Amino acid sequence: MSKKRQPQRHKHVPERTCVACRMHRPKKALVRIVRLAEGGIVVDETGKQKGRGAYICRQQVCWQQAFKRGALNRALRTTLAETEITVLQTYAATLPETLDLDDAVPEIENSTEEV
Ligand SMILES: [Zn+2]
């Protein structure tokens, strides 16, 4: 068994959906929040934390909306404790109020090629 996997030429930009505005965005325009298996909520800057994750845009408006609508509870299948919400709100306060998403979106390759 010496078959080597061909590395993909295409730069695939992984997209995720914001739990607040339901927009699909490139991963880096979103913040991942993870509910850890052992309990607790963390803001996962590395994207590698294990656990159930939810994504929210890097903009305060989406976070406020998520808190208001309980979108995180649904996405993470939990009920956030007040202390956890406080932690998340503190994090949200460091984000820009609205993100100029054009800045966050990587250049789109003009390729019509289909695989
Ligand atoms: Zn959003």
Q: Where are the domains of the chain?
A: 15-99
The CATH code of domain 15-99 reads 3.30.1230.10
The closest alpha carbon to 80, from 54, 57, 61, belongs to: 54
Q: pTM to 2 decimals?
A: 0.76
**How far from 105 is each of 3, 14, 47, 72, CA to CA, in Å?**
35, 11, 18, 24
Question: Confidence class of residue 13 from pLDDT cuts 50, 70 and 90?
Answer: confident
- In whole angstroms, give the CA distance from residue 63 to residue 94: 11
3-class state of residue 25 by DSSP: strand
- In whole angstroms, give the CA distance from residue 40 to residue 110: 42
Question: Residues with Cβ within 5 Å of ion ligand 1?
Answer: 18, 20-21, 57, 62
Tell me: pLDDT of 31 over 90: yes
Between the CA of 36 and the centroid of ligand 1 the distance, in Å, is: 22
Between the CA of 20 and the centroid of ligand 1 the distance, in Å, is: 5
Between the CA of 31 and the centroid of ligand 1 the distance, in Å, is: 10
Q: If you average pLDDT over residues 96-115, what whole number do you get?
A: 62
Predicted pLDDT of residue 100: 76
